[in-house]
Amino acid sequence: MAERIASLKGIAKQIRTQIIEMIFKAQSGHPGGSLSATDLLAVLYFDQMRVDPQSPEWPDRDRFVLSKGHACPVWYATLALRGYFPLEELGTLRQLGSKLQGHPVKNKCPGVDATTGSLGVGFAQAVGFALDARLSGKDYKAYAVLGDGEIQEGIVWEAANTAGQRGLDNLIIIIDQNGLQNDGFCKDIMAVGDTEQKFRAFGWQTARINGHRIEEILPALELARASKGRPYCIVADTIKGKGVSFMENIRAWHGKAPSAEQRAQALKEIQEAL
pLDDT in tens, 158-194: 999 999 999 999 999 999 999 999 999 999 999 999 9
What does the alpha-carbon distance between residue 69 and residue 101 come to, in Å, rounded to a whole number?
A: 10
In total, how many domains does the chain have? 1
**Which pLDDT band, with edges at 50, 70 and 90, does 113 fall under?**
very high
Give the domain extent around 187: 2-273
At 19 the pLDDT is: 98
Q: Percent of the chain beyond pLDDT 70?
A: 100
> Alpha-carbon Rg of the chain, whole angstroms?
17
| Tens of pLDDT, residues 119-168 | 999 999 999 999 999 999 999 999 999 999 999 999 999 999 999 999 99
Mean pLDDT, the chain, rounded, equals: 97
**Which pLDDT band, with edges at 50, 70 and 90, does 273 fall under?**
confident
Rounded to two decimals, the pTM is: 0.98
Q: Report the greatest alpha carbon distance in the chain.
A: 53
| Tens of pLDDT, residues 243-272 | 999 999 999 999 999 999 999 999 999 999
At 160 the pLDDT is: 98
Is the per-residue pLDDT at 77 higher than 80? yes
- Amino acid sitting at position 235: V
At 274 the pLDDT is: 58
Other residues' Cβ atoms within 10 Å of the Cβ of residue 252? 10
SS3 state at 93: coil
The whole-number average pLDDT for the span 86-113 is 97
List Cβ neighbours of 188 (8 Å cut-off, separation of 6 or more).
none
* CATH assignment at residue 69: 3.40.50.970
